[in-house]
Structure 1
Amino acid sequence: MAKNTHTLTDIQLRQWKKQGAPVAKSDGDGLTFTLSNAGTASWTLRYYQNKKRRELTLGNYPDITLSDARRLASAHRAAIDGGADPAQEKASRKQKESTPEWSIKRLAEDYRVKRLTPASFAASTLYYRNADLNNVIIPKLGSRPVPDVTGQEIVQMLRDADNTWTISKRVLTTASKLFDHAAGLHIIAINPCAGVSLTSLLGPRPPIKKRVMLSEDDLRTLLATIDTLGTENGLALRILLATCVRTNELVTAQWKNIDLENGSWFVPNELTKTRTGFLVPLTPPVVAWFRRLHELAGNSPYVLPARVTRKLGQPITTRTLWAAITRAFDTGRLKITKFTPHDTRSTAKGHMRNLGISEFDTERALSHAIGGVSGIYDVREEIPEKRLALQKWADFLLTLTPTI
């Protein structure tokens, strides 16, 4: 540190202040008295840090006297000699104070607008991401400043939610994506979810439920009693079976994407799991089921409009069919192998293979992404092999029931 060589006096300061002429006078060791054209007198400490010239405003005179300024300058110079950069630290504090605090609730709102969009995720993914935010993450952490959230709080959140292993995994994934968004905004440097282990918290992951393939007898019984699930539910389940689409793709379907005259249904990008739209060939029985649903839908743009008054103008949810099937099993109306709506796809896959349809064409029928060169160069929307496979599968279903 340079030798202390103070040059200013209180008398000089008062005279300069009274005269009002602009001045800039050094007291030594970087401490400078400045009087502006506007008559504002202030103290500035000038110094070098990492070979860069810095200036730190200490305050105004006479609020800060000469002796006060010297004491402040001395303390700052000691910190500077120790590697501190008080001007940079002051600027950082001012920026932090001027920036609205990012709470988890505010972060979630920003995340929804910028990341949770139909262009980025399927409707089912959006539904569950929002459900995790609304039901678990925001109620538990909503008021917490984002930078203050720790891994321990994430663990406690998962414990308090008391969900199954699978649901806890989903919530943890949603939380991790949320904090990835915070890192992208430079609010945090490290994602607090990074070190959280569900295996440590809940033990090993339970065995993944095996998909169900309904037997011919199961299908025969189901098709004979399917309308006991409700007219719309019965028609929807028939269509799920015959078209091999995912439940969400059907329950969110709109009439504008269905061409019954030409037997085709286009599932747009935003409604698909892969974010790539595809054409579903409609066989004559499926066209007939859609026509019956069209009569029941009235003026709704949706194939399966909501049946609850407060949700008019929306489609049914993915749980509607699941709930109808569950009730049928619980009341004894269905006495076959237990299944879920998604099991219609594994059922179709198995029976189509038994019917001699190739693995490649069954994958097309299920609208799975085709890998390799075929997936790159075969860009057809109308695929005759897919239509033939679904026609053969629909014909088989008709052999199991006397009516469509």
Structure 2
Amino acid sequence: MSSSLHKLSAVGLKSLPSGKHEDGGGLRFVRRQDGTTAWVFRFTIHGRRREMGLGPYPDVSLKAAREMATEYRQQAKRGIDPIVKREAEKREAIRNLHMLKEIAQDCFEARKAELKGDGTAGRWFSPLENHILPKLGKMPIAEVDQVVVRDTLAPIWHEKAETARKAANRLNLVLKHAAALGLNVDLQAVDKARALLGKQRHEAKNIPALPWQEVPTFYASLGQGITELALRLLILTGVRSAPIRFAKPDQIDMEARIWTIPAELVKSRKGVTGDFRVPLTDEAIKVVEDALHHGGEVLFPGQREKPISDMTMSKLMRDRGMEARPHGFRSSLRTWAEETGQPYEVAETTLGHVVGNAVERAYQRSDLIEKRRALLAAWADYVTGNGGADVIPLNGVQR
């Protein structure tokens, strides 16, 4: 052993007075006036004198301090700054300790602006919250690999194929968000998990729709209750259920016969933002007037004056033994429009779909509201039997 190293002894450390005590090779033991202690390693790198703390005594023993000093001394000889290297290792360790749950929440917050109602409906986050985070939420995101993803999705991969697909897609976005934050993640984990899981047996099915030829009969069977009025307006306008449920009197201009659906209730459409105007036909205005008689902050109030629930209209149809669901009336309208030769761009815009590429939309600023008004007027005439439809009343209800 060199005489310039290991000058201190483990036994003698406790009795050393205040001051700086050299062990050799750059390792120094410091006892302060207040009795606290510290190990300090002094080295020269690129002609610059530096000091780095190794921790207090006795938390760091003499043996441990010497081992660290030896390692750092060798690094300095190779031109590696031990302080810079240690800080880099700390940052990497911190990055690798980020839990999946934290990153998922941060990803959700970052995407809220592009989600309907800032994601308050919970549909974007729920696949993660219900199927990914209960098992993987507390796992460091750096440890998320194809095996744990496969094991997490396996129970629902075939039985709940669409839910599994959404959960996988959301997790993939979270991993990309983590990578953008500079975290160490496997961006291929989800794709590799899909390969391990294999092709899904379950095929996604379209929401059942009532054939357009049967819509007049169903419409004629509806009464004047809140749920039935909501279904009437949904059928007549072709909008989704959320705008119907959250419709408010102040959204409707009775004189202009236009219903303006706020942007937060409009399903995200690539390249299109803002409110969505819906022209109201004579029949639609009658429905609105009937609904206004019920009063309330919303047009179709449920319990405690809150909007009717998402399942209320579906339940009415299900209780009648129907396979079709409310959302399917959009398909009924679109098919009728196709069969009766309605202009493609007018029919698509009526449903709130984006028509044309970005360049075409830049030049086509009109929302075709008057053409859509004519289309919906023809649809209303058909639905109510005024257009020559053969309406067969159900349950003895005649309009």
The alignment's TM-score, normalised by the length of structure 2, stands at: 0.76
- Partner Cα distance (1:98, 1:280) in 2: 51
The 8 Å contact of residues 238 and 333 in structure 2, kept in 1 or not, is answered as yes
Which residue among 177, 181, 204 is the counterpart of 2:177? Answer: 181
Instruction: Say if 1:102 and 1:361 are closer, same or farther in 2 by CA, change over 3 A.
Output: same
Cα deviation, residue 170, structure 1 = 1.0
The DSSP-based 3-state class of the residue aligned with 2:124 is: helix
- Partner Cα distance (2:18, 2:189) in 1: 63
Gaps of 5+ in 2: none
- Counterpart amino acid of residue 277 in structure 1: D
Which residue among 113, 116, 120 is the counterpart of 1:122? Answer: 116
Q: Which residue of 2 aligns with 1:262?
A: 256
Q: Which residue of 1 aligns with 2:234?
A: 240
Q: Which residue of 1 aligns with 2:53?
A: 57
Cα deviation digits, residues 13-51 of structure 1 (max 9, x gap): 99xx8586xx7x987654456788989775433446799
1:133-172 matches, within 5 Å, as: 133-161=128-156, 163-172=159-168
Over the aligned positions, Cα root-mean-square deviation in angstroms equals 4.2
Q: Which residue of 2 aligns with 1:394?
A: 380
Q: Which residue of 2 aligns with 1:289?
A: 287
1:3-402 matches, within 5 Å, as: 6=4, 29-31=25-27, 42-47=38-43, 55-59=51-55, 72-78=68-74, 86-88=82-84, 90-91=86-87, 102-112=98-108, 114-115=109-110, 117=112, 119-122=113-116, 126-161=121-156, 163-191=159-187, 193-198=189-194, 200-204=196-200, 206-209=202-205, 214-215=210-211, 217-227=213-223, 231-273=225-267, 274=269, 275-296=273-294, 298-299=295-296, 301-307=297-303, 312=304, 314-329=306-321, 334=322, 338-372=323-357, 373-380=359-366, 383-399=369-385, 400=389, 401=391
Gaps of 5+ in 1: none
Cα deviation, residue 121, structure 1 = 0.9
- Partner Cα distance (1:340, 1:124) in 2: 26
Cα deviation, residue 67, structure 1 = 8.3
Identity of aligned pairs, percent? 25
Cα deviation, residue 68, structure 1 = 7.4
Instruction: Say if 1:381 and 1:143 are closer, same or farther in 2 by CA, change over 3 A.
Output: same
Instruction: Say if 1:29 and 1:263 are closer, same or farther in 2 by CA, change over 3 A.
Output: same
The alignment's TM-score, normalised by the length of structure 1, stands at: 0.75
The DSSP-based 3-state class of the residue aligned with 1:367 is: coil
Instruction: Say if 1:281 and 1:97 are closer, same or farther in 2 by CA, change over 3 A.
Output: same
- Counterpart amino acid of residue 172 in structure 1: A
Cα deviation, residue 74, structure 1 = 2.6
The DSSP-based 3-state class of the residue aligned with 1:156 is: helix
The DSSP-based 3-state class of the residue aligned with 1:56 is: strand
Instruction: Say if 1:10 and 1:53 are closer, same or farther in 2 by CA, change over 3 A.
Output: closer
